Amino acid sequence: MTDGDIDVLAAEIGSTTTMINAFDNLNKKPVHLGQGLARTTVEEGNVMLGVKRALKDLKEQLEIQNLNWSEFLATSSAAGGLKMTVHGLVKDMTVRAAEEAALGAGGVIKQVTVGELKEKHLDRVESLEPNMILLAGGVNHGEEDIILHNARVLAEMDMKIPLIYAGNEAIQDEIRELLEDSSLEILITENVYPKIDQLNIEPTRELIHEVFARHIVRAPGMEKIEEWLTAEMMPTPGAVMEAARLLKNRLGNLVVFDVGGATTDVHSVCEESGEVRDMMVNPEPEAKRTVEGDLGVYRSAPHVGEIMGESINPDSDISPLPRGEREKELVSRLAEEAVREALKRHAGEFRDYYTSGGRKTVAEGKDLTAADWLIGTGGALTRLPRGKKILRTLTGRHTRQLLPKPEAEVLIDESYIMASAGILGRSHPEAALKIMFKSLGLNRKNKFEKNFV
């Protein structure tokens, strides 16, 4: 076979690896044709080199000289991903709501401030050179002065980046006036925390995705990829969250572990169990993401090694695409430690408080006790043999943490396509689901057959 016409190519441009997935026959019986891999080429000064090498690898696997496609989609976390700073009013209220919105959209949060912005905070913002600023604060018709001060001092900064305002809706006009003559691009959306104990993070998540697509992370050579795109690019973690939400609608409560070279992300799309819901002290979003920038299995391997009590040098001990058995075993052990620590940070817990009436137990943080599925994606869990065994160690019942129950089923994204399926799902949701079900081993021979007849 020398030529091929397919429906969709979906590129995932990661911090260490670039993948291209080929999907076809989307309107009938969707199929994942194959996947090309290459190292991401930020250091070579042009990420397009990695994309073209991954495409070449794909064509070699498919034994095709010329490949034509109808749609080209892409996600990216290259060049550090979508770097954001987040500024709110009260730590456990508007600040936390803004963080949830940013993380759920795929943001990499580099700075979080509480209350009035001071000169040291502004100096830090400038030094970080974020891709985007998220300003929140105040319930609707609540606090105004501190939020207006924060907008005023941000307006004085010489930064040509988008600023999203998602705070007290009563002062939106004043915020717009303060920022309209600045170098910042002002975008206003609904309040992420409109009332006490009420989260409203979806409008901000969607706006972050839109802004990312218009201000694509400027890894060198990214402008060339824009010329190929037939739809807006998404942050890779945001695309994984989209895939997780699609699956939740069909499967039920789930937790996705995405182990990469630079980070380990945990995405949970999970409702609270009835018992825990009655004990919750603060609201949690149904879809929650945490990103652990110190728990990757390549760039962050030295830190994970420290937790394990080992000294690891990425330059000599491992590579972004591990080959030998010794190297694969090391990465498997790093992945096991990374997911265990990442889950510990993601999950909530029971806490005891002592009052005049005696001891009171409450629940704080994300409740995962109702999760029915644990799903592994990312190279370390999908390309190495111990993925399922690693995830099976993460459940618990008699513990203070709100961990998934021991009966939760473990699935591995064998084809490593969740991010690509997430962006594919925006235009072809049923096709994306069918492709993910096959990758996860949920085929027509099991109890999910009724979903696809």
Return the closest-CA partner of residue 402 out of 439, 372, 364: 364
What pLDDT does residue 315 have? 75
Instruction: Decide if 298 contacts 312 (C-beta within 8 A).
Output: no
**Position 20, amino acid:** I
For residue 445, CA distances in Å to 17, 169, 436, 438 come to 34, 51, 15, 11
Return the closest-CA partner of residue 345 out of 273, 405, 292: 292
Same fold, 3-79 and 82-214: no
What pLDDT does residue 80 have? 65
Phi-psi region of 106 (alpha: psi -120 to 50; beta: other; left: phi over 0): left
How many beta carbons lie within 10 A of that of residue 445, not counting itself? 7
Q: Which residues touch 341 (CB under 8 Å, ≥6 apart)?
A: 264, 292, 295, 304, 307
The helix-helix angle for 119-128 and 145-155 (nearest 10°) equals 50
Give the integer Cα–Cα distance in Å for 243 and 253: 13
Return the closest-CA partner of residue 374 out of 335, 405, 346, 334: 405
Spell out, as residue ranges, where the chain has pLDDT lower than 50.
Answer: 1, 444-445, 449-453
| Sole residue written with tokens 């699956």 | 247
Backbone angles phi, psi at 305, to 5 degrees: -60, -40
- What predicted TM-score, i.e. pTM, was given to this entire model? 0.82
The helix-helix angle for 236-251 and 429-439 (nearest 10°) equals 90
Domain boundaries, the chain: 3-79, 82-214, 235-413
The class of domain 3-79 in CATH terms is: alpha beta
CATH 3.30.420.10 for the 82-214 domain, yes or no: no
What pLDDT does residue 310 have? 86
Q: What is the pLDDT of residues 260-288, one digit of tens each?
A: 887 899 999 999 888 888 888 888 889 99
What is the residue-wise DSSP string for 383-442? SSTTHHHHHHTT--SSSSB-PPPTT-EEEE-TT--HHHHHHHTTT-HHHHHHHHHHHTT-
